Structure 1
Amino acid sequence: MEPQQLRTFVTVARLGSFSEAARELGYTQSAVSQQIAALEADLGTAVLHRRPVGPTGAGERLLEHAGALLLRIDAARADIARLAGAPSARLTVGATPLAVGAELGRALAEVRRAYPVVDLTVRVVAQDVLPAEVATGAVDLALVDGPAAPSDPLPLPDVGPLATVAVAEQPLVVALPAGHPLAGRSGLALADLSAAHWLDAPGLAPTAARLSAATGVEGYRPAARYLGTDVRGLLALVAAGHGLALLPATAPAGVPDVAAVPVRAPRLVHRTELVHGALPEGPAALLARLLTGE
């Protein structure tokens, strides 16, 4: 099973067309057909129905493996390239929305002073995507954040030999309307809020499923979905009574009509981590040292 055959299979399955896959991959349709035929001969079974085009039962199972296999191949190429390559004058930093802050800004200013001509890009990306982007070289390093037990690492996917280093921890709060009956409490137990209406904001706050996993309590349900990455937009919905949100303590500070009540139980913090692969001396390595204090 060759990697290129696997990529071709994934593309055909995604597009549902041999000809469309050929156009996207830059092959002839005959070459695509030959690769699929060779893959099926190697596996000893058909992985694609031809009319209409779609994965067979075996093909569905192969798709479950394909993403992880191709990701690890791309990650291996990127890792070796980082170790063997010369220092780059380009620096691409990935960050989750709540990880972009003053500390990153100050560190990047130091990098610019040391490397005045560095070509800098900061990409704001969802947490579940960033580790793979670091592994495959789409970004040089990344800041990711989320709730975790104190001093515990964030639960990130295993996508390659990446290092994770804690950058910061801060308390978690429940953001709710200033007039909410719970707004005056000194602390809240998340398990007591399973029947409350929550805002489902996967780019900024834990989803209902993650709240259930953190508390061991079922019943959390989203009252509305917020698919943006602007925390002010999320807090405007909180203030208007559309739902609660679990956020780091600094996020709702000073926002009108929003109260922030500390989380008393379970013991959780908002943790920010730096994720990176091999870092040859250059802008990325300097930024990592500045962010981690090493």
Structure 2
Amino acid sequence: MPKAHQSDREPELSTVWLRAFLEVARHGSFTVAARGLGWTQSAVSRQVAALEAALGGGPLFDRLPRGVRLTEAGRVLVPYAETVTEALHGAGRELAALREVAGGRLRFGAFPTADAALVPHALAAFRARHPRVRLSREEGLTPRLLERLAAGHLDLAVVSTTPGAPLESYDLHHLLDESLYVAVPASHPLARSGPVRLGRLADADWISGSPRPEGTLLDAAVRQGFRPRVAHVVGEWTAKQGYVAAGLGVALVPALAAESVRPDVVLLPVLDEGAPARAVYAATARGRTPAPAAEAFVAALREAAGKIPAQ
């Protein structure tokens, strides 16, 4: 391929040259332009001369006895120079807004029980501090949220230590360690007994979101030496409470959902040694620089996590 001649190449223009050129064009004077820029007159002259050389050597200004006047080439260049400098100023404003969390966007997801108290409290605080950030939210289980995060569809995901979830592949920001409760109907014999060990409920019917305990909160019972008998598979937490209140079984409840318990259901803290708990994290994609809005939201999540009642 033949080597391009100098005249065939697009000139590489410095924004400093364009700035000096526009200031001289605006004032019709190198002296006044230099004063406005805080430069010396010779510095302004050098920048304009460099711009003229890059564009082929033709003059952009006619020198007059007092001041200067744009040549035809200079008049052609003005709107292009204005477009370039305004675009750069606009980019600078947007980048400053991102740094100050005064603009931009935040796409986040959370698993369902995090939406009971943790996420709403954090979201309210974040909106009060950063009202101009555009927010979008998704709800899903931890494995699905991590897939969305890895694919670049989310900036941040509130996730838990769900068995099988590849948390080690992400940057994790610890929010809290959840204790678990057993939900029993108010008429249950253990309702007034206080904290219990899971083994005392080994013969109970259980209500769970899955027929198998593996990969659910009930996996904790398996680790404690018994396999819970899942009598009813119910996915939504409000519906689970209804089944418990009706005396159809008992259920494990994470601390994040404890605030929304209905009055005819009693929550008993679990006492088993090495009490079953799960960790909750704000996850971001490893190797991807988080946006300032994501960092600010993590801070709001940590504040909200500090208000979650301990067992």
State the TM bucket, normalised to the shorter chain: 0.5 to 0.7
Task: Quote the residue 1:180 is aligned against.
Answer: 188
Aligned pair in 2 of structure 1 residues 257, 127: CA closer, same or farther (>3 Å)?
A: same
Task: Quote the residue 2:248 is aligned against.
Answer: 242
Aligned residues: 196
Give 1:93's match in structure 2, choosing from 108, 111, 130: 108
Native 8 Å contact 2:114 2:257 kept in 1: no
Native 8 Å contact 1:176 1:239 kept in 2: yes
Output the CA distance in 2 between the equivalents of 1:261 and 1:104. 24
Task: Quote the residue 1:289 is aligned against.
Answer: 299
Output the CA distance in 1 between the equivalents of 2:270 and 2:142. 22
Indicate the structure (1 or 2) with the bigger Cα radius of gyration: 2
Output the CA distance in 1 between the equivalents of 2:217 and 2:128. 43
Task: Quote the residue 2:197 is aligned against.
Answer: 189
Cα distance per residue 1:133-187 (max 9 Å; x no partner): 22222221111236xxxxxxx6552277311222123432100111112212222
How far did residue 212 of structure 1 move? 4.3
Give 2:290's match in structure 1, choosing from 268, 280, 283: 280
Output the CA distance in 2 between the equivalents of 1:106 and 1:251. 13
In the TM superposition, 1:135-284 aligns within 5 A as 135-145=150-160, 155=163, 157-158=165-166, 161-202=169-210, 207=216, 210-215=219-224, 217-228=225-236, 231-249=237-255, 251-252=257-258, 255-266=262-273, 267-277=275-285, 278-284=288-294
Aligned pair in 2 of structure 1 residues 207, 197: CA closer, same or farther (>3 Å)?
A: farther
Native 8 Å contact 1:208 1:222 kept in 2: no
TM-score between both structures, scaled by the size of structure 2: 0.54
Unaligned runs of 5+ in 2: 1-94, 304-311
Output the CA distance in 1 between the equivalents of 2:178 and 2:169. 27
Native 8 Å contact 2:183 2:250 kept in 1: yes
Native 8 Å contact 1:135 1:159 kept in 2: no
Task: Quote the residue 1:118 is aligned against.
Answer: 133
Aligned pair in 2 of structure 1 residues 208, 250: CA closer, same or farther (>3 Å)?
A: closer
Native 8 Å contact 2:180 2:255 kept in 1: yes
Identity %: 29
Runs of 4+ in structure 1 over 6 Å off: none
C-alpha RMSD of matched pairs (Å): 2.9
Output the CA distance in 1 between the equivalents of 2:281 and 2:164. 10
How far did residue 117 of structure 1 move? 3.5
Unaligned runs of 5+ in 1: 1-85, 147-153
How far did residue 116 of structure 1 move? 3.4
